[in-house]
Structure 1
Amino acid sequence: MRAAGVNEPAVRAFVRHHEALVSGATGLVREADVEPASPQVLLDDLPDDPDAGRAALDATAVAVLNGGLGTSMGLSVPKSLLPVHDGLTFLDVTVRQVLALREVTGARLPLLLLDSFATRDATLARLAAYPGLAVDGLPLDVLQSREPKLRADDLSPVDHPADPRLEWCPPGHGDLYPTLAASGVLDALLEQGYRQLFVSNVDNLGAVPDARLAAWFAADGAGYAAEVCPRTEMDRKGGHLVRRRADGRLLLRDTAQTAEEELVHFTDGDRHPWAHTNNLWLDLVRLRELLERHGGSLPLPLIRNPKTVDPTDPTSTPVVQVESAMGGAVELFDDAVAVGVGRDRFVPVKGTDELLLLRSDAYAVGPGTGYRLVAQADPLPVVTLDRRHYRFVHDLDARFPAGAPSLREAAGLEVEGDWTFGADVVVRGRVRLADEGGARRVPDGTVLEGSSAEGAP
């Protein structure tokens, strides 16, 4: 890792996790050891003080996780460069949201992307279209580190001569913390008067810095706050906060930290009704103190992620990827707070189901909304597409050549089988297209209504 130029705090973080693996650590969070966690603060209860909000935003920096290629959706380019609405990419919308907030509030709001080796060049090329984005003295991005994949049988670094690049993997977005420290960006932010950091995922376009939240966080004195929102059926496998019975501290629990036999509890939305959005607020002074105390990297919980060395070849060597989540830092702050927010602040796109919904008229995004997502339906419809035919983006694009159907009047769209949609299709109510055994087509201008619909060959 040192020979590859990985920074020393990241090396120490990897060594810590490797030693834990060798000693038999699994990283699992047992249901018997935790209890459900509810938010202590609700966004709707916070006062709206425009002056306090502007002042707090001016002391806020924005960090966006941008290290993924979206391989689960068949992409080989940065996921942030995927068109999501009216030709705008995730990255375009994120940048325009920040620029619009700057114009409205007068806040500096520097934007910092956490890039990977796989996303950096293409991302910076796209950002060239926004010459006014950079804030003096601060970079537009920092480069996350990398670490070796480990053989599953003996936990030694894997060899893969066919493509040595596949011997490496990103360490998870918990790498944000040592990267901020090692790059000097954390010190630079503090020197320029920034006191808090808002962090989110690039594929969550609901994660816009909020003036009320910024003002509350600045005044509250907490070192860490995590936004949580009401959980839906689409969040069953997503992470959530729990409270450790032994000491009452908040913990983040993800699927990879849950034993298979306990997934029934993990996915129980009645028992754990709040989803973790990965929208975080951090006090930069407290963060630097914590990093200094731990030698430049935080002792985040281990996430053991079993894979194959070539993710496209299930017969390739089994490996373990050692990861950490930035949200795992919640347990390191004794005053960490969970803040309840609305679903409008959590619009993740993890698959083509959510992508189709975001591309449709169920959302409005543009200059008139400050590039914030504004839902045009309440509740939003649930889209379920047959993974055999719509799993990858290129499959989706091929079957919706004229774009997404109108979904603003829909309650749900379930597509089974191989259906191609024509132009100007409208979905009303709850619609199910059944698998008719071959490729079928929804003709131009069709209005789909009711529990099922028929199409043309």
Structure 2
Amino acid sequence: MSETALEQCLEKMRAADINQAAIDNFRHYWQLCASGATGIIGEDTIRPLLDPPRLDQLEVDEADARAAIQQTVMIKLNGGLGTSMGLEAAKTLLPVRDGRTFLDLIVAQVLDARQRYDARLPLVFMNSFRTRDDSLAHLAGHPGLAVDGLPLDFLQNAEPKILADGLGPVSWPADPALEWCPPGHGDLYPALWGTGLIDALIGAGFRYASVANGDNLGAAPNATLAGWFAASGAPYAAEVCPRTVNDRKGGHLAIRVSDGQLILRDTAQTAPEEMHYFTDEHRHPYFHANNLWLDLVQVRDILVARHGVLGLPLIRNEKTVDPSDPTSPKVIQLESAMGAAIEVFPGATAIAVGRDRFLPVKTTNELLLLRSDVFDLGADGRLRSTVDRIPEVDLGADYKLIDDFDRLVTVVPSLRGAESLRVRGPWYFDAPARVTGAVDLPDAGEPRHYR
């Protein structure tokens, strides 16, 4: 591909005052893309991760746990708009329980841990240019949240979408904002580096970071995990959960045969003819929860050595420039996954945690569960399961968008006695009701009411 196309992209980034670390990383991934790199990880190059240490079997001295959490910062990824649910603002602004949003519950979790462990425990969000203003405005309702002069957020970088044909920057005058995209959550590292935040955190006396998605309310502050990670001396650790038959889509950790290094493999890095290996929960028994632990000093050392470019595996995300218009030009978004950084750090490790630390909301199916009596909400902002097995929920296309979901579900049914709930067609949940056992509501051709 033409170097002219690359220079056009880089000039566009410079004109937008994008920091040099982001520009250097974009150049790296553009060149990978132009060379035809696919990022595919063959099954014959890895072996499964079978026996990581388990959180429920850890023995961590209480004083060590307290000391570690006092040196920890909580970083939440908050760049997603939840467009698949029809949202145009940060997904974390969605109400979860009693009118309280994801952001409100995250704040409650952190404030509770600060008091319990007498810890400063900064809370910092990685926002995107699309989520920053609304999120900070909402967080202003929690005065005193910032600590030690540290910011409440740092900005995820932006990069140009590139044309699938020629790899030059796309132009879309109808909505110039659509010419840009975030580089995936692998941008965490160059964003920490390029903004100077990693130096500020270390300078303020913080050594460890607990990183998780903002829509995962299970990833609350955990002193035991902090104590284990500090004692491990590892530069990096990933939380994994046991897979079930319903966990076939998420990425998993594996051990690279050539050097014994832990790596992350996602769906996009698996050849179609090897997907049966990827989805086999017996062959690869743990999935990646996207909850990470970082030793900030060791991460900074690697960033310094690599001049801010970790060189994570490329993810080619092919879309149209306007996601709502399938006839708009085809583009490629150059992305990376933050969990893929595990392969950059010799000595990186993993720990198996319970499903209580993995409660993400990707669709309205999960939102219904969190709003239901399947979970109790504690004063500490944590959601705790009230059942032995979380029921499976499949609401169907009529509930995909949040406006339709809120219109059809005005009274959340009891799901404590449910094994599964499958809904097809528009059913109104607008009065107290109970779902027991396996319930399948068929499309009746017209709206119905569940009683």
Q: In the alignment, is residue 392 of structure 1 matched against residue 404 of structure 2?
A: no
Letter in 2 for 1:405: P
3-state SS, counterpart of residue 41 of structure 1: coil
More deviation, 370-379/255-264: 255-264
CA distance, structure 1, for counterparts of residue 219 and residue 247 of structure 2: 16
Deviation sequence 1:112-160 (CA, Å, 0-9, x none): 1000000000000001111121002200000111001111121111111
* Residue of structure 1 in register with 2:419 after alignment: 411
* Residue of structure 2 in register with 1:173 after alignment: 185
3-state SS, counterpart of residue 228 of structure 2: helix
Q: In the alignment, is residue 32 of structure 1 matched against residue 40 of structure 2?
A: no
* Residue of structure 2 in register with 1:144 after alignment: 156
* Residue of structure 1 in register with 2:339 after alignment: 327
* Residue of structure 2 in register with 1:377 after alignment: 387
Q: Which residues in structure 2 correspond to 1:77-226 (within 5 Å)? A: 77-226=89-238
Offset at residue 396 of structure 1 (A): 0.9
* Residue of structure 1 in register with 2:35 after alignment: 23
Does structure 2 conserve the Cα–Cα contact (< 8 Å) formed by 1:308 and 1:317? Answer: yes
TM-score normalised by the chain length of structure 2 = 0.95
Does structure 2 conserve the Cα–Cα contact (< 8 Å) formed by 1:29 and 1:253? Answer: yes
Identical-residue share of aligned pairs (%):
56
CA distance, structure 2, for counterparts of residue 305 and residue 262 of structure 1: 20
* Residue of structure 2 in register with 1:425 after alignment: 433
Offset at residue 88 of structure 1 (A): 1.1
CA distance, structure 2, for counterparts of residue 84 and residue 232 of structure 1: 26
Q: In the alignment, is residue 245 of structure 1 matched against residue 257 of structure 2?
A: yes
Letter in 2 for 1:374: R
3-state SS, counterpart of residue 161 of structure 1: coil
CA distance, structure 2, for counterparts of residue 157 and residue 269 of structure 1: 40
CA distance, structure 2, for counterparts of residue 259 and residue 92 of structure 1: 41
Deviation sequence 1:7-51 (CA, Å, 0-9, x none): 101110010010111111111222222221134211111114222
CA RMSD between the two structures: 1.2
CA distance, structure 1, for counterparts of residue 246 and residue 52 of structure 2: 24
Does structure 2 conserve the Cα–Cα contact (< 8 Å) formed by 1:231 and 1:269? Answer: yes
CA distance, structure 1, for counterparts of residue 358 and residue 376 of structure 2: 15
> Would you say how many aligned residue pairs link Structure 1 and Structure 2?
439
Q: Which residues in structure 2 correspond to 1:226-305 (within 5 Å)? A: 226-305=238-317
Unaligned runs of 5+ residues in structure 2 are 1-12
Deviation sequence 1:394-450 (CA, Å, 0-9, x none): 111111122x111112111111222111211111122111222222111xxx3xxxx
Does structure 2 conserve the Cα–Cα contact (< 8 Å) formed by 1:200 and 1:280? Answer: yes
Q: Which of these residues, 328, 342, 347, is aligned with residue 359 of structure 2? A: 347
Deviation sequence 1:174-196 (CA, Å, 0-9, x none): 11111111212111111111111
Does structure 2 conserve the Cα–Cα contact (< 8 Å) formed by 1:39 and 1:339? Answer: no
CA distance, structure 2, for counterparts of residue 41 and residue 5 of structure 1: 44
Does structure 1 conserve the Cα–Cα contact (< 8 Å) formed by 2:378 and 2:384? Answer: no
Deviation sequence 1:57-103 (CA, Å, 0-9, x none): 00001100000100011101110101112211111111110011111
3-state SS, counterpart of residue 14 of structure 2: coil
Unaligned runs of 5+ residues in structure 1 are 447-457
CA distance, structure 2, for counterparts of residue 150 and residue 382 of structure 1: 39
CA distance, structure 2, for counterparts of residue 69 and residue 131 of structure 1: 25
More deviation, 22-31/351-360: 22-31
Does structure 2 conserve the Cα–Cα contact (< 8 Å) formed by 1:38 and 1:338? Answer: no
Deviation sequence 1:192-214 (CA, Å, 0-9, x none): 11111110000100001211110
Q: 1:123 to 1:44 in 2, by over 3 A?
A: same
